[in-house]
């Protein structure tokens, strides 16, 4: 065993035969990023630091508030107004000076997520909002990192490990979008501030997340890979679901790091994804009534060619590279069947934010063509 690891500190877990010195060394060499140092993040951080995870990153842009303390026992009243990431790092360093802890007092965004997550082996999601949850999920899929996920609502909690690699049953990896392909609107599901949460619940779920992280690192037991566990604090009922990958998920995740950086996760959550699609009828109404920008994102050779309305031709692959000069505040993108145009709409909304209304033609140009009266040629 290396000198840096204190046998005395970890003696009680090292004497577990399944764990042993080998398990302790695996923890020491592990690098875990915990996103969110709140209700879930506090117990995750406390137990990972105590257990001897050698490198821990803490991402949180929030500051400590009095209303946090009932479920975030890492902090005291003296910390109110201070950075959670920095206060957590300070307390954990006092508790275990043998490990490396880095505080990132910043929000995880498309600009910093890949760089931060890349240097860790495992990410732990203890955030409190859907936009960051989808952002972490997509980043972990792109970087092929396991993601220990946990979330709570009122008296119930859920957790799982989304693992990029097929597990022993030889199924393909599962990610959050296999459960919920697109984010709900922020007002569709209440958060803790609105719905309330029993203080001890994130303590229970966060401790289970720490346990799963330790099992994943050391290889002991049966980590909760691709199985979602729900726990009800009122009646102690536990329910476990097997998760399955869906084929369509792949199309929702940015294809590469550049596409990821063009995503606007806050926008995805702020407006209903179904709003992004427009029916052929509504589309016809729109372009006949006012000047809008229409973009064909198909490749140049794809048929049918469209002459019925003015439009730009920019294949999806080119769209992110050069921003077209668009003079209207409404943009409709279309492709053959409506899938690529959805990606294009997402990409454009990442660029234009809420400055422009961006729609994807539902069912693609094939569907639109079907509804047109036959023209004599």
Instruction: Tell me how far, at minimum, the Cβ of 44 lies from another protein, in Å.
Output: 10
In angstroms, the first-to-last Cα distance of the chain is 82
Candidate list 55, 153, 207, 330; residue touching another protein; CB under 8 A: 153
If the CB atoms of residues 24 and 72 are measured against another protein, the closer one turns out to be 72
Candidate list 43, 52, 54, 126; residue touching another protein; CB under 8 A: 126
| Strand ranges for the chain from DSSP E | 31-35, 55-59, 100-104, 122-125, 147-153, 156-162, 227-232, 238-242, 277-278, 293-296, 312-313, 330-334, 357-361
How many chain residues touch another protein (CB under 8 A)?
A: 42
Is position 43 an interface residue for another protein (rule: CB under 8 A)? no
Among 205, 156, 35, 167, residue whose Cα is nearest residue 104: 35
Is position 308 an interface residue for another protein (rule: CB under 8 A)? no
Candidate list 130, 162, 260, 334; residue touching another protein; CB under 8 A: 130
Is position 127 an interface residue for another protein (rule: CB under 8 A)? yes
Token output for 303: 């048929």
- Taking CB under 8 A as the binding criterion, the range among 37-45, 109-117, 211-219, 328-336 that sits at the site for another protein is 37-45
Instruction: Tell me how far, at minimum, the Cβ of 138 lies from another protein, in Å.
Output: 16
Check the CA dihedral 223-226-232-236 and report its sign: negative
Is position 204 an interface residue for another protein (rule: CB under 8 A)? no
Candidate list 65, 244, 255, 305; residue touching another protein; CB under 8 A: 244
If the CB atoms of residues 2 and 240 are measured against another protein, the closer one turns out to be 240
Beta strands 293-296 and 147-153: pairing type? Answer: unpaired
Candidate list 41, 146, 254, 350; residue touching another protein; CB under 8 A: 41
Give the distance from CA 364 to its chain's centroid.
28
**Under 8 Å between Cβ of 105 and 61:** yes
Is position 68 an interface residue for another protein (rule: CB under 8 A)? no
- Taking CB under 8 A as the binding criterion, the range among 73-81, 179-187, 276-284, 300-308 that sits at the site for another protein is 179-187
**Under 8 Å between Cβ of 2 and 114:** no
If the CB atoms of residues 6 and 106 are measured against another protein, the closer one turns out to be 106
Number of other residues whose CB lies within 10 A of the CB of residue 58: 27
**What three-state secondary structure class fits 197?**
strand
Which helix (H) or strand (E) segment holds residue 251: the answer is helix 249-252
Give the distance from CA 277 to its chain's centroid.
23
The residue annotated as part of the active site, out of 42, 140, 192, 269, is: 192
Q: Determine whether 42 is an active site residue.
A: no
- Taking CB under 8 A as the binding criterion, the range among 16-24, 50-58, 124-132, 257-265 that sits at the site for another protein is 124-132
Tokens 């037991």 sit on residue: 221
Q: Determine whether 269 is an active site residue.
A: no
Is position 189 an interface residue for another protein (rule: CB under 8 A)? yes
Instruction: Tell me how far, at minimum, the Cβ of 352 lies from another protein, in Å.
Output: 26
Q: Where does 121-175 have alpha helices with state H? A: 130-143
CA distance 181 to 184: 9
Is position 154 an interface residue for another protein (rule: CB under 8 A)? yes
The residue annotated as part of the active site, out of 42, 140, 269, 335, is: 335
**Under 8 Å between Cβ of 35 and 125:** yes
Query: Which chain residues interact with another protein by CB under 8 A?
Result: 36, 38-41, 125-130, 133, 150-154, 156-158, 178-180, 184, 188-192, 195, 197, 202, 228, 230, 232, 239-244, 246
Active-site annotation, residues: 192, 335
């Amino acid at each position: 065993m290396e000198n840096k690891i204190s046998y005395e500190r970890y003696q009680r877990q090292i004497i577990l035969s399944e764990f042993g010195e080998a398990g302790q060394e695996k923890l020491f060499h592990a690098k875990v990023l915990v996103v969110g140092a709140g209700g879930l993040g506090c117990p995750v951080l406390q137990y990972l630091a105590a257990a001897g995870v050698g490198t821990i990153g803490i991402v949180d842009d929030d500051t400590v508030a009095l209303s946090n303390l009932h479920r975030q026992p890492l902090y005291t009243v003296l910390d109110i107004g201070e950075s959670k990431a920095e206060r957590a790092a300070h307390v954990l360093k006092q508790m275990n000076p043998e490990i490396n802890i880095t505080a990132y007092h910043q929000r995880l965004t498309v600009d910093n997520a890949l760089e931060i997550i890349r240097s860790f082996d495992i990410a732990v999601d203890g955030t409190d909002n859907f936009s960051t949850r989808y952002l972490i999920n997509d980043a972990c899929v792109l970087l092929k990192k396991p993601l220990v996920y946990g979330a709570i609502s009122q008296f119930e909690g859920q957790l799982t490990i989304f693992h990029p690699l097929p597990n022993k049953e030889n199924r393909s990896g599962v990610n959050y979008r296999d459960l919920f392909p697109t984010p709900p609107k922020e007002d569709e599901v209440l958060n803790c501030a609105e719905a309330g949460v029993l203080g001890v619940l994130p303590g229970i779920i966060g401790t289970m997340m720490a346990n799963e992280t330790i099992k994943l690192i050391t290889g002991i037991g049966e980590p909760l890979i691709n199985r979602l566990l729900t726990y009800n604090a009122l009646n102690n009922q536990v329910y476990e679901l097997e998760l399955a990958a869906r084929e369509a998920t792949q199309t929702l995740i940015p294809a590469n790091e550049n596409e990821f950086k063009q995503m606007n996760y806050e926008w995805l959550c702020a407006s209903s994804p179904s709003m992004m699609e427009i029916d052929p009828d509504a589309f016809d109404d729109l372009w006949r009534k006012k000047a809008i920008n229409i973009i064909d994102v198909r490749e140049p050779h794809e048929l049918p060619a469209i002459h019925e309305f003015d439009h730009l031709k920019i294949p999806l692959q080119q769209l992110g590279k050069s921003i077209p000069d668009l003079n209207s505040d409404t943009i409709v993108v279309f492709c053959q069947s409506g899938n690529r145009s959805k990606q294009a709409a997402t990409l454009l909304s990442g660029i234009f934010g809420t400055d422009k209304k961006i729609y994807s033609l539902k069912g693609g140009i094939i569907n639109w063509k079907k509804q047109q009266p036959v023209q004599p040629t």
